[in-house]
Amino acid sequence: METAPEKIDLSDVSLFSDGTPHEAFRLLRHKQPIYWNEQSDGSGFWAITRHADVLAVSRDSETFSNERHGIMMYDESFETSGRERTMLEMDAPRHTRLRALVSRGMKPRKVLALEHFARQEFSARLDECLESGDCDFVSDVAGQLPVQVICEMMGVPKSDRHHLGRLAHRIQGFDDPELGGGSGGENSDAIQEMSRYALDLATNRRRTPKQDIATDILQAKIEGYAMDDAAFAAFFLLLITAGIETTKASIAGGMLALTEDPHQWSELQEDPRLLVTAIEEMIRWTTPIHHFRRTAMRDTRIAGQSIREHDRVVVWYSSANRDESVFEKPFSFDITRSPNDHLAFGFGSHYCLGANLARLEMRIVFEELIARGVEVDRRGNVDYMLSSFTNSLKRMPVSMRATR
């Protein structure tokens, strides 16, 4: 028997313990696409689950604000958070100016120059894993490149990278008791440690500029405005949290799908030109960020439903990316899917700034696996991070061997 939509509580993190609750989203899309999700404390939020409505909300950043009360489901007020805003937590014109400034620092030429470094780095790690045979695909393979690339961009010394990667994992696992989330304040300790690290990095680069993106961003100016150290630290935290776990999740989620359908892995190995559509499908299939939240700036309507000023509006990318009215056979993983209008990178003015970097990293990982003809066999169950925000795997034990 189907669960009644009014019994669904998307704020209950246990709903996500085995990954995305697709059945709940399917029900909501069909029965109550603009759904008032009441929470146990009497408050609530609008859950937006259809592709067209997620697009409409994301497109209209004047009505649906990132700045007013924050972007996380539970954020109340920024003023009491004691934290510096990231660009994702701003609206125009502040956001526009900061985004232009950062884009000036992250020139495509500089980002592309990372490819050589990334390929060498990943090849070495992959060969080590292949030598030992058994490994955890998530930490030993998928998690290697994203942390190295962001740290290389920002000029973080090699000796600090592993530690920052662990901190990022803990920050993202804010609901997962195994990662120090849920209670005990370990998560905010990790945020504070990361912020202190970024402030030190800023001081250091101002004193001794280097040939890295961190220096470029600190030196960039737009209409006389430049980032101060606190704004730089907030940006660093955003890059580390937005850029590591997400890319790792897409690589691991993509490989999980391929181990469940080995025929498509063989097809990809035989014709690596399929990587372009395959990577996009891995991102749609995984959808590493389940949702972001907006706040209504005025009384309005979404698909006919009245929304009051100040209401929380949560856009669920995980649901939009399985919308039957947009994707043919949305529950089939198809490496040849085209078109693939997924919303995993969001949409509109905050569209993911690292989308092309994430695609580049994924291409390198899968090209290197294909070049070695790697066979991947699962050796046990996968574990998901307990989170209604990030769709990420914690573990995927595998044995791997090169056939070329």
Does the protein bind ligand HEM through residue 288 (CB under 6 A)?
A: yes
- Characterize 107-120 residue by residue with b for buried, 16 or more Cβ atoms within 10 angstroms of its Cβ, and e for exposed: eeeebeebeeebbe
What is the Cα–Cα distance from 71 to 320, expressed in whole angstroms? 18
Q: Are strands 300-302 and 374-378 parallel, antiparallel or unpaired?
A: unpaired
Among 114, 147, 194, 289, binds ligand HEM (CB under 6 A): 289
What the block records as the tokens of 300 is 């309005």
What is the closest distance, in whole angstroms, from the C-beta atom of residue 197 to ligand HEM in the complex?
A: 17
Does the protein bind ligand HEM through residue 239 (CB under 6 A)?
A: yes
What is the Cα–Cα distance from 224 to 37, expressed in whole angstroms? 44
Does the protein bind ligand HEM through residue 242 (CB under 6 A)?
A: yes
Q: Are 49 and 35 in contact (CB under 8 A)?
A: yes
Choose one: 7-15, 209-217, 244-252, 387-395; the region binding ligand HEM (CB under 6 A). Answer: 244-252
What is the closest distance, in whole angstroms, from the C-beta atom of residue 178 to ligand HEM in the complex?
A: 23
Q: Are 321 and 327 in contact (CB under 8 A)?
A: yes
Of the CA atoms within 13 Å of residue 182, those in its CB half-sphere come to 11
Nearer CB in complex with ligand HEM: 27/302:
302
What the block records as the tokens of 199 is 């402030």
Distinct helix (H) and strand (E) counts, the chain: 15, 12
What the block records as the tokens of 18 is 């085995």
Does the protein bind ligand HEM through residue 87 (CB under 6 A)?
A: yes
Does the protein bind ligand HEM through residue 88 (CB under 6 A)?
A: yes
Among 20, 148, 246, 295, binds ligand HEM (CB under 6 A): 246
Nearer CB in complex with ligand HEM: 179/242:
242
Helix (H) or strand (E) holding 36: strand 34-38
Angle (nearest 5°) at CA 233 between 227 and 238: 105
What the block records as the tokens of 98 is 């900061």
Does the protein bind ligand HEM through residue 48 (CB under 6 A)?
A: no
Does the protein bind ligand HEM through residue 233 (CB under 6 A)?
A: no
Among 50, 68, 69, 99, binds ligand HEM (CB under 6 A): 99
Q: Are 59 and 350 in contact (CB under 8 A)?
A: no
What is the Cα–Cα distance from 66 to 351, expressed in whole angstroms? 13
Among 346, 375, 379, 395, binds ligand HEM (CB under 6 A): 346
Choose one: 2-10, 14-22, 181-189, 349-357; the region binding ligand HEM (CB under 6 A). Answer: 349-357
Does the protein bind ligand HEM through residue 194 (CB under 6 A)?
A: no
What is the closest distance, in whole angstroms, from the C-beta atom of residue 1 to ligand HEM in the complex?
A: 34
Among 238, 255, 307, 314, binds ligand HEM (CB under 6 A): 238
Does the protein bind ligand HEM through residue 283 (CB under 6 A)?
A: yes
Residues found near ligand HEM in the complex (CB under 6 A): 58, 87-88, 99, 238-239, 242-243, 246-247, 250, 283, 288-289, 292, 344-348, 350-354, 357-358
